[in-house]
Amino acid sequence: MLRILSFMIVLLALALPGRAQARDITIDLTDPIVSITTGFTGTDLLLYGAVKQAGDLVVVIRGPARDEVVRRKEKVLGIWVNRDELVFDKVPSYYRIASNRPLNEFMNPTDADRLQIGLDNLDLRAKVSGKLLPEAPYEFREGLIRNLQRIGLYMTKPDNVVFLSEQLFRTRLRFPANVSVGTFTIEVYLFRDNKLQSTATTLLTVRKFGVEAQVYDLAHRYSLAYGVLAVIIAVVAGWAANAAFRKG
Amino acid sequence: MPIAEMSVNVPLILAVGAGVGLLSGLFGVGGGFLMTPLLFFIGIPSAVAVATGASLIVAASISGVLAHWKRGNVDFRMGSFLLVGGVFGSSLGVWLFTVLREQGHIDLVIRVSYVVFLAIIGGLMLVESARSMMRRKKNQSRRSHIHTWLHGLPFKVRFRRSRLYISALPPLAVGLFVGLLAGIMGVGGGFVMVPAMIYVLGMPTAVVVGTSLFQIIFVSANVTILQSATNQTVDILLALILLFGGVLGAQLGARIGAKMQGEQLRGLLALIVLGVCVKLTYDLVLPPADLFSIAEVARY
């Protein structure tokens, strides 16, 4: 209901040009919060909005940053063992883009590189003992991206932005079950005549909710108490099982 | 799952719990050494599987020890010596676990440990059950007590219920070793401790199971708490689902087990253990789908 309502408001804003602010891009999400509950299997959100003048759109979604270690296996005495490793600094834990037509048709490579649009343009920096390397070894970088793609956190191909009219657009954002908690940024770039015209940004919060959140929170903040609790639960369960056995 | 950070198929988890419960009811084993590898197979991270496994063993051992306690089959003095060793061993094990985890070798070490131990246990059980099937026909007698260099060690203590007067060092050492396994592998270690108590310490068979369960409760509790405090890898929700399946499975197992012969049962368990071992080995030797793997090291 709320979704439809907010969608209507945007429509209304468009219909009343006098009221609408003179912004090039207006965007909104059907829900600014994704709640991960125990039964969470991923969710879809709708990003919708309007542009003042027709153009081409790119939507870039990034998840909260993580340091990720990438390890390469080698065969040692017949079994596969992790050998070389490299730590990547502040890697977006989620990365997807969407556009209304293929990027190379309206965006020049310099812009794509500067705005880090597309997996090849992602600025992934490796660090060795706290210092950033100028360039990360190619196969480690590819290994990192490939692993994130395999678990569905990085895109394999861009999604579609659909224009409903010259001004009105929407795109579906997919968040898988293993999505990280934290703040996601959603950037929308408007191109006209192969040039960047304007941008809009909005934030999305992914958080754990309910039992899921409480358990996670307890385990990380009061980990000792959590361990004791786990033991108490186990003792009670074991005793209960024994009691049930005797009766049966 | 809140800690494993993955969505799991609840019926599948229940089935794994029930399956291992069935085996433990059927064969009278703790089942930790089968539970943890099965959790690997369904994709639970090794670290979570080990730590959560430890909490399950606490529950299973409690329910087992109560029965033995009533029959007076727990040697608390012997149990305490095993326990002191066990607490040190398991703390060392969890520390080692944490270091290996940071270096990215923990998966490998856990899996290789499982391959080695499952191969040994499965092999021994198979030989033993084959032998006893033959022995039933011949009806041989066995030596009851063997004197070894172990009996020459100092710090002798009298263990009344076990009818032993031996040095305190071997029980401490056995406890230490089993504790180490518990810390790294998330097992109770009954499968190592029981034979060690019979053949190394020379304890009477009647008190062996109850006493080992007594030790396992506290050592596993120690592992659960330490794993939680240092690695935050105990998933209570996962444990509860497994436990529920396990209780149902164990009931069923005990009923079926009562109708089968001991040697056949042990032979069957040996084959299952070896099967799991072969699968684990296969996974280690097979070239991985991707040579590169990733792990999160810091959040912002």
pLDDT in tens, A114-166: 889 988 888 888 888 878 888 878 899 999 999 999 988 999 889 999 999 98
Number of CB pairs < 8 Å for A and B?
181
Does one domain contain both A157 and A194?
yes
- Distance separating alpha carbons of residues B43 and B36, to the nearest angstrom: 11
Together in a domain, A188 and A77: yes
Residue A11 has pLDDT above 60, yes or no: no
CA angle (B282, B283, B289) in 5-degree steps: 125
Could you count the other beta carbons within 10 Å of the beta carbon of residue B199?
11
Instruction: Tell if the CB–CB gap between B300 and A64 is shorter than 8 Å.
Output: yes
Same domain, A38 and A123: yes
Residue type for A78, please?
A: G
A218 and A182 inside one domain: no
Percent with pLDDT over 90 in chain B: 9
Q: Do A178 and B5 touch (CB under 8 A)?
A: yes
Nearest CB partner across the interface for B294, out of A69, A79, A241: A69
The helix/strand/coil state of B71 is coil
Number of domains in chain A: 2
- A54 and A42, same structural domain? yes
Q: Are residues A240 and A137 in the same domain?
A: no
Please tell me whether the interface predicted TM-score (ipTM) of this complex is above 0.85.
Answer: no
Per-residue pLDDT at B196:
82
Domain that residue A219 falls in = 210-248
Task: Give the closest residue to A219 by CA, choosing from B233, B214, B64, B145.
Answer: B233
What would the two tokens of residue A24 be?
């090039």
Say what the pTM is: 0.75
CB contact at 8 A, A227 and B229? yes
**Whole-number pLDDT of residue A95:** 95
Mean pLDDT of chain B: 81
Q: What is the pLDDT of residues B197-253, one digit of tens each?
A: 887 787 887 788 888 888 888 999 999 999 888 888 888 888 888 888 887 887 777
DSSP B140: -
CATH number reported for the structural domain that contains residue A58 in this entry: 2.60.40.1930
Higher pLDDT, B150 or A95: A95
Q: How far apart are CA B89 and CA B95, in angstroms?
A: 10
Q: Are A223 and B66 a contacting pair at CB < 8 A?
A: no
- Say whether both A241 and A181 belong to one domain: no
Q: Are residues A195 and A217 in the same domain?
A: no
Domain ranges of chain B: 10-285
* Smallest CA–CA distance from A217 into chain B, residue: B2
Strand order in the sheet with A195-208: A33-36, A195-208, A182-192, A56-62, A95-99, A159-160
Alpha carbon distance A201, A205 (integer Å):
14
Give whole-number Cα distances, A230 to A215, B130, B189, B242, B297, in Å: 11, 41, 20, 14, 25
CA dihedral for A222, A225, A228, A229, sign (positive or negative):
negative
pLDDT mean over A216-238: 86
Q: Nearest-5° angle of CA B16, CA B22, CA B26?
A: 150
Specify whether A203 is located in the same domain as A215. no
Rg of chain B (C-alpha set): 19
- Supply the pLDDT for residue A246: 65
pLDDT tens digits, A29-66: 988 888 888 778 888 999 999 999 888 999 999 999 99
Averaged pLDDT of chain A: 85
Asked if A121 and A237 sit in the same domain, the reply is no
- Same domain (yes/no): A41, A141: yes
Q: B99-115 burial by CB neighbour count: b if 16+ within 10 A, else e? A: ebbeebebbbbbbbebb
